[in-house]
Amino acid sequence: MPDQDRLEILRGRHDPLPEQRGAELRGLLTELADDVLRELLGDPGPGIALLAVGGYGRCQPAFGSDLDLVLLHDGSRSDVSAVADAVWYPLWDAGIGLDHSVRTVDEAIAVADDDLKAALGLLDVRRIAGDDELVRTLARRARDRWRIRAPKRLPELAAAVAERADQLGEVAFLLEPDVKESRGGLRDLAALHALAAAWVAEVPSPRVLAAAEVLLDVRGEIRRINAGRAQDRLLLQDGTAVATALDYPDSMALAHAVADAGRTISWAWDATWYRTAAGLRSTSRWRSRRPVRRPLDEGVVEQDGEIQLALDIDPTKDPALVLRVAAAAARTGVPMGRFAVDRLAREAPSMPDPWPPAARDSLVALLATGPAAIGVLETLDQVGLLVRLLPEWAAVRSRPQRNPYHRFTVDRHLIETAARAAAFTRDVDRPDLLLLGALLHDIGKGYPGDHTDAGIEQVRQIGPRLGLPPADVDVLIAMIRHHLLLGESATRRDIDDLATIQAVAGAAGSERILTLLHLLTEADSRATGPTAWNAWKARLIGDLVARARALLGGQSVPCPPRLDERQRALLALTPEHVIQVNPLPDEGMFEIVVVTDDQVGLLAVTAGVLALNRLDIRRASARSADGRALLQAAVATQHGHLPERDKLLADLRAALGGTLDIARRLADRERDYAGVRQWTTPGPPQVSFDDLDTATVAEVRAPDQAGVLFRIVRALSELRLDVGTAIVATLGLDVVDAFYLREADGGPVTDPARQAEIARAVLRALGAEVAADDADLADIADTADTAGAAGAAGAAPGL
């Protein structure tokens, strides 16, 4: 009987190998498991064998991995059940996971015929002990059967790969990827081996195998950290420990390596399966004539469903050929052939400086194909051609963004943005600059410092190298410099204020750049993730752009008066407390109107009531006249449900009457959600100020929690400040709230000491520890938001 320590190692609860990592660890675990199993099996005699299949058959176990075993027999033994029990039961008693079966060779083949997983497992048969000839017979028959049935089994395999991708996402783009099951994970590598076993594809390349080693090493440490539990997902909380164990500088470097490995494997699968599927389709065709080569561009032809090079072309003398091939592939939807890609990777020269105009035109033509360009650019990237064209690409390649707001790595985000921008090329007079700006807008994220500043410096070098004239380079630089301008101004400033409109128009400087920025902002947001673009944001940005365009065109800018006719009518309503719920044109958005007697803290109370009713405030403004106060809030609801007006009114009355403790109720809710795991640890709250002519904007960035707006506004009201407008934006795990403040006399808050006092009060309200004489806060007025400036349309005294 194996000793308990060895069984505990296999179970994953005991780690006597703390210095072993990677392939060495897998080898030791394989050897240990083999020894334990041989000891349990003993000498079984002829006609019986114990063999490993699947991952264990490939000698790739990790701590706590299930042992994939088959007890194989020839059908002549009467003691097979007893032999099996002697192996299985001690392992079960030790808590070791098994994927086991007892089969004859014929039974194993029959099961594999009906079960794809079983068929794949038999492709990696490895004898542990027993009848060697029996094992060789099974391995030979299993592989022969796999090859014979390839036309049926391989589409089934491809469907399984696609289903996993749909369900589990991609290793390269997930915050917490499953390195085994997600697209680009170890399961996909096994699928590539299965294609090679069917003799329809080559074995995976050394580059793909190296990528798999990265994921195997990571999986090994995940299992070690989690004490052998069935956990193959790289959790953010484990990133530092895994990175340290595998000698990566930090968790970001680890995430980078994992993303790159996932992309390599997923691209290899896509490219290999395309050729395999084409081959399977062509096996039933009889070719009666020579292949047809259809010209597509200079030196570029289509042959047998792939892009190939013309027979008389010399890639070494044609640096623009790479881009012509890529553009033709994207334009026609025909993939680049393996021979063409490999030859270009070997022979294509570096692009001259500056690029010839034809090369730049081909790049723009490629980007203009939109989503079709994504796979083509991925192919160029995987074989090293994209970095050869744009050396700056190396700094952003497979670079993770590590937050739930961004869906893709930096390089893929840039490609996705360009693909989205392609839909707008007919809406601008310079579509080439729109596409190039989209492709390069975040290129600075691969360099130290602020990514916008770094991006500008990179584009100063890239633009002339592409052969662009200085005026066009200046436009690209303006697009990089202001690519966040519209989004931040529309969602974090008051677009009804002339100051905001003037700031945006002044930054853009021309209608051309304003239009380019507008379309870049939408493309960028749509490429970022599902929460980055919605009808509400689109309408805000559209209104802001229309007003800035009017200003640039010398037209009058439509800014609403301090009180319009509707607001005056609402303020004239006589009931003590009035609440209205009105649908907005944006899906899931409503306007909440509150009319009541003017009093200190009303905005804070209203914000608290709305938070208790699970209404997310996006924008709130306050007006007052003749002792009455009007609050208007645009709110988002969960699943588009209609807010309950009667409950809102009852809660407002109770809060104003002192019978509803909003602070306590919100604190209780926060405690209820305290155990929910976050994607990452949010940073501490921050406060900055922007001084305007008519008001001071206090911008607060804080973790997104229940009642944040209520706590901030309550702190501001306790300092006797007028809050005319509150604007709320959510950015990943943070909220970024902007408050238009005035002192009781109606003037802006310009005194640095007063701003420091406000900052301390807000930070304390948000739970941050702040010293009463914090020297850093004394200089807080020096920090101003550069995205734009705005002021309230009218403040309500005492709110």
Q: pLDDT by residue (tens digit) across 571-584?
A: 888 888 889 999 88
pLDDT digits (tens, 9 = 90+) for 296-334: 999 999 998 899 999 999 999 999 999 999 999 999 999
Q: Which band of pLDDT confidence, cut at 50, 70 and 90, is reported for residue 59? A: very high
Cα torsion 537, 543, 544, 549 to 10°: value is 140
Q: Cβ(232)–Cβ(65) under 8 Å?
A: no
Burial of 338 (0-12, 13-18, 19+ CB in 10 A): middle
160 inside domain: no
What average pLDDT does the structure give for the chain?
88
Do 374 and 413 share a domain, yes or no? no
Instruction: Give 288's contacts (C-beta < 8 A, 6+ positions apart).
Output: none
For residues 53-59, give the mean pLDDT. Answer: 93
Q: How far apart are CA 754 and CA 746, in angstroms?
A: 15
Do 551 and 570 share a domain, yes or no? no
The CA-based angle 469-474-429, given to 5 degrees, is: 75
Q: Cβ(409)–Cβ(172) under 8 Å?
A: yes
Q: How far apart are CA 426 and CA 461, in angstroms?
A: 28
**Which token pair is 271?**
């490219």
pLDDT digits (tens, 9 = 90+) for 263-301: 999 999 999 998 898 888 765 444 445 668 899 999 999
In sign, the C-alpha dihedral spanning 461, 462, 465, 469 is negative
Q: How far apart are CA 26 and CA 129, in angstroms?
A: 19
For residues 121-132, give the mean pLDDT. Answer: 94
Do 230 and 99 share a domain, yes or no? no
450 inside domain: yes
Q: Cβ(226)–Cβ(178) under 8 Å?
A: no
Instruction: Give 547's contacts (C-beta < 8 A, 6+ positions apart).
Output: 495, 501, 557, 558, 559
Number of structural domains (the chain) is: 5
Do 541 and 573 share a domain, yes or no? no
Q: How far apart are CA 157 and CA 207, in angstroms?
A: 23
Do 333 and 413 share a domain, yes or no? no
Do 89 and 139 share a domain, yes or no? yes
From the list 108, 69, 64, 105, the residue with the least C-alpha distance to 86 is: 69
333 inside domain: yes
Instruction: Give 190's contacts (C-beta < 8 A, 6+ positions apart).
Output: 55, 120
For residues 772-796, give the mean pLDDT. Answer: 40
Asked whether the predicted pLDDT for residue 604 surpasses 50, the reply is yes
pLDDT at 451: 95
For residues 466-485, give the mean pLDDT. Answer: 97
Q: Which band of pLDDT confidence, cut at 50, 70 and 90, is reported for residue 733? A: low
Asked whether the predicted pLDDT for residue 435 surpasses 60, the reply is yes
Do 650 and 505 share a domain, yes or no? no
Quick one: what percent of the chain has pLDDT higher than 70?
92
Q: How far apart are CA 409 and CA 437, in angstroms?
A: 18
**Which token pair is 443?**
């290129």
Full domain range(s) for residue 629: 565-782
Phi and psi, residue 555, nearest 5° = -95, 165
Q: Cβ(783)–Cβ(688) under 8 Å?
A: yes
Largest CA distance in the chain: 102
For residues 49-54, give the mean pLDDT. Answer: 94
Burial of 81 (0-12, 13-18, 19+ CB in 10 A): exposed
Q: Which band of pLDDT confidence, cut at 50, 70 and 90, is reported for residue 640? A: low
Q: Which band of pLDDT confidence, cut at 50, 70 and 90, is reported for residue 781? A: very low
Bridge partners, 103 (sequence order): 72
Do 434 and 486 share a domain, yes or no? yes
pLDDT at 497: 87
pLDDT at 784: 38
Q: Which band of pLDDT confidence, cut at 50, 70 and 90, is reported for residue 14? A: low
93 inside domain: yes
Q: Which of 256, 280, 304 is the last residue of a domain?
A: 280
Could you write out the three-class secondary structure of 111-169?
HHHHCHHHHHHHHHCEEEEECHHHHHHHHHHHHHHHHHCHHHHHHHHHHHHHHHHHHHC
Do 588 and 538 share a domain, yes or no? no
Do 366 and 430 share a domain, yes or no? no
Cα torsion 27, 33, 38, 41 to 10°: value is -150
The amino acid that residue 751 corresponds to is D
**Which token pair is 575?**
């009931």
577 inside domain: yes
Do 417 and 551 share a domain, yes or no? yes
* 3-state class (DSSP) for residue 408: coil
Cα torsion 100, 103, 109, 112 to 10°: value is -30
108 inside domain: yes
In sign, the C-alpha dihedral spanning 623, 628, 634, 635 is positive
pLDDT digits (tens, 9 = 90+) for 220-245: 999 988 876 888 999 999 999 999 99
Q: Domain with 425 in it: what CATH number?
A: 1.10.3210
The label of the residue with tokens 């047809």 reads 292
673 inside domain: yes
Indicate the angle between helix axes 535-552 and 485-492, nearest 10 degrees. Answer: 110
